[in-house]
Structure 1
Amino acid sequence: MPKPNILFVCVKNGGKSQMAAGLMRQAAGDAVTVDSAGTKAGDKLNALSVESLAEAGVDISAERPKQLTDDLVRAADLVVVLGGEAKVEPIDDTPVEVWETDEPSLRGIEGMERMRLVRDDIDTRVRALAGRLSA
């Protein structure tokens, strides 16, 4: 059976989707093909995202934001959209799952404390998905 190909998407591909991809690589190793992209890709990673993942033993510092394309969606076995801002239409019946991730800034939590909460929420979801994929 071929490895599942999971595509994580957010708007800029500088934070949440990059975090999810890095965490999935850590959780699933080479049992899953992982990619990430943005609906309006930015030009750099969120420095606090990179730092919060480094604390968890995940290095995404060499990653770069990438624009979402139809080919990326088509190649995926599952597209996971992080947050409600990015919109992805299925192509060729590729399933699209939306994760309404925690947004601590709505509770007045900012900076590194916010990013750790975001990281931990995404990590919990990624581990659950990795478990589903290996079942």
Structure 2
Amino acid sequence: MRETAMHHSATEPAPETTTSPSDQPVRGAEEEVAPVADSTERTETPAVLFVCVKNGGKSQMAAGLMRQDLAAAALEGAVVVSSAGTHPGSKVNALSAEVLAEVGADIAGQTPTQLTPEAMREAGHVVIIGAEAEVEPLEGVEIERWEVDEPSERGIEGRARMELVRDDIQLRVRELRERLLG
């Protein structure tokens, strides 16, 4: 807080309290400049919320792969990672958890979560995975959709399908990390 000595007579109007930077002592100027310099630096940790319908497969895979990718790059905690579903199921898809464990990502203990506007605002960046989930836009929230490979459309099912889905999501996660951390 700045103190300014005011000298005026009863007949003179009081001077305005605004001052130009050249009117300020050097110490006051330094105090004024510091917050401006700090405001240009990133002060918040970036966050991403992965969304699919059930939050038992693809969005859980993306969140697990993002955490694993961050850890492998020695960037654990550099991005806040979460996932949710528009109509969450009751558990994580066992095959999804199995193929992720093969690449060092553990989602076996995760629980599907309901998507909320609050979670979207908290993250600020939402990635919808696949074409099925419908998410209403929110002001101030960046939303992108990943149309991931769907091997079942080519007759590929089971473990082979899930490995292809995992590999597609893994490439996208790596690119997203680079964008978020620039």
Distance in 2 (alpha carbons) for counterparts of 1:134 and 1:112: 32
Please give the alpha-carbon distance, in whole angstroms, between the structure 2 residues aligned to 1:120 and 1:107: 16
Q: 4+ runs of 1 displaced by more than 6 Å? A: none
Match of 1:24 in 2: 66
Aligned identity (percent) is 60
TM-score, normalised by the number of residues in structure 1: 0.97
- 5+ residue gaps, structure 1, are none
SS in structure 1 opposite 2:77? helix
Give the superposed CA RMSD.
Answer: 0.8
Moved more, 87-96 or 3-12: 87-96
- Any unmatched runs of 5+ in structure 2? 1-42, 71-75
- In 2: Cα distance, 1:133 partner to 1:5 partner: 8
Q: Is the 8 A contact 2:124 2:140 kept in 1?
A: no
Pick aligned residue for 1:123 from 170, 174, 182 = 170
Q: Give the C-alpha shift of residue 5 in structure 1.
A: 1.1
**Distance in 1 separating the partners of 2:124 and 2:68:** 19
> Quick one: distance in 2 between partners of 1:7 and 1:69?
11
Which has more radius of gyration?
A: 2
Q: Give yes or no for contact 1:73–1:90 (8 Å, CA) kept in 2.
A: no
Count of aligned residue pairs for this structure pair: 135
From 1, 6, 11, the equivalent of 2:53 is 11
